[in-house]
Amino acid sequence: MTTPSSPHSEKQDSIASPDTFAARIDRLPVATRTHRRLAWLLGFFFLFDTFDLNTLAYTAPALRSEWGLSLGQISTATSVAFAGMFAGALVGGRLSDRYGRRPVLLGAALFYSVFSLLTAAAPNFGLLVAFRLLTGFGLQAMTGVLLVFVSEMFPRHLRGRYQAMLLAIGISGVPIAAFVSRLIVPSGAGAWRWVFVIGAVGLVGVVFAAKLVPETTRWLSLHGKGERALVLVGRLEAEAVEATGKELPPPAPQAPVPAGKVRDLFTTRNLKRTIVASVTMVMLILSLYGFNAWVPTLLVERGYTQQQALTIVTILAVASVPGALLAYPFVDRVERKTLIFVLAVVAAAGVLCFGLVEQNVVMVVAGFVFSMCQQAIVAVLYTYLPEIYPTPLRGVGSGIANGFGRIAGIVGAFIVSGVFSAFGFTAVFGYLAAATLLLGIVIVAAGERTTNRPLDEIAR
């Protein structure tokens, strides 16, 4: 069996040139044992991220009944989480560029888990809102680093598929949250608190991640820690050789890693990319969370019982996992922006149908199609966002786009409430269809080509 690396000259070049590490990772023909372990562990973090993010939507009817809250107050509680996410996206992204992906990932997971636990103990609406704000901060700081981590640690021909796989693991938190809420919430006054307790179990992942999650090779080499990056890349190469039984091909030449300071985000090229990514994320959040966060409450307002509404939502939530997996066969073969457009058209038709029909079966099928396509869009878009920025700006750049999306979540909660109050149930879903369609049009018209291209080539 041959060894993956050679001579001291390659070691010397690797330490001096961050792009050499990128080329050596991109030449790996398979995902290694380390890659697969990281995917499961990051997926675990993502699972409790999505679980916690949906807990308020599923407990909102019980909160309204128990505390006598208005729709406006539910909008406030939903919106503050997005305000926290906006701050978390910006701060987490910037910190990960300066201090590393790993410490921000672990710190943010610990942070949001603690505040999810405190939400469970909230004695009044005011403190619940404060704890949701801080939970949102930690959630988005962690999610942003997760996306960057996959883009930097997986070979270019696999990063889309593993991003989809990671999302599929994580998004299972949506049906789990729906099922747990349906099981627990109707059992009695105050039972909703246990849903938030379960959302804090992400703390367990921090213990394992502290031992198993390394810093990314790109960040290490860019910050003068080439020796550590060399050890990690060597291990990945050895595992790939062991898995395939074949010598690795020589690394393909890659463009040097471009330098970058925050002000470079406002150059013509990067500014256009940030605007396109931000508008796309705004439309995604308006449509996706406008649907997920409000369907339980809107169905109750339409005349369904709380239990009936949660049953329908649980069925729709099941669509999330196959939706993420729907992207898996295509995300590394079809140009990402084209794939997002096709999925957006189908999703818009599904959500419009959900609002127009009254037959339960047709409504559920239409909602299922919408949920599947939306989660497939999330998988592709989460792959796309970190790819369009250079390594020194990847965290903060994708954080800004994500942050604007979360700001849209603040406004979106009040838009849904306002549209429903003024125009009724069907109009809400016409608005969600329009936002979904606009998402696809913007990215297909002005987005970057990223599929199977080296990160630094895209950045240039």
Task: For the chain, give every domain's residue range.
Answer: 8-459
Q: Decide: 194 and 121 in contact? Cβ < 8 Å.
A: no
Tokens of 173: 């938190």
Q: What is the pLDDT along the chain (460 residues), one digit of tens a residue?
A: 434 444 444 444 444 455 677 888 989 999 999 999 999 899 888 888 888 877 887 888 888 888 988 877 887 887 788 889 889 988 999 899 999 999 999 999 999 999 999 999 999 999 999 999 999 999 989 988 988 999 899 998 898 999 888 888 888 887 888 888 888 988 888 888 999 998 888 888 888 888 899 999 889 988 888 889 889 999 999 999 999 998 888 877 665 555 567 777 777 778 899 999 999 999 999 998 888 878 888 888 877 787 788 788 888 878 888 888 899 999 999 999 999 999 999 999 999 999 888 888 898 999 999 999 999 999 999 999 999 988 888 888 888 888 888 888 778 878 888 898 899 888 999 999 999 999 999 999 999 999 988 887 877 7
CA distance 93 to 76: 26
Q: Decide: 153 and 35 in contact? Cβ < 8 Å.
A: yes
Q: What is the pLDDT of residue 100?
A: 93
Tokens of 338: 């084209």
Q: What is the pLDDT of residue 110?
A: 92
CA distance 241 to 32: 9
Tokens of 21: 């590490």
Q: Per CATH, which fold does 8-459 belong to?
A: Growth Hormone; Chain: A; (1.20.1250)
Q: Could you give the 3-state DSSP secondary structure of residue 149? A: helix
Q: What is the pLDDT of residue 12?
A: 43
Q: Could you give the 3-state DSSP secondary structure of residue 23? A: helix
Q: What is the pTM of this model?
A: 0.78
Q: What is the pLDDT of residue 178?
A: 81
CA distance 91 to 205: 22
Tell me which residue has tokens 């080539």. Answer: 457
Q: What is the pLDDT of residue 251?
A: 78
Alpha-carbon distance values, 327 to 23, 236, 281, 323 (Å): 26, 26, 18, 7
Q: If DSSP states are collapsed to H, E and C, what string results for 394-441?
A: HHHHHHHHHHHHHHHHHHHHHHHHHHHHHHCHHHHHHHHHHHHHHHHH
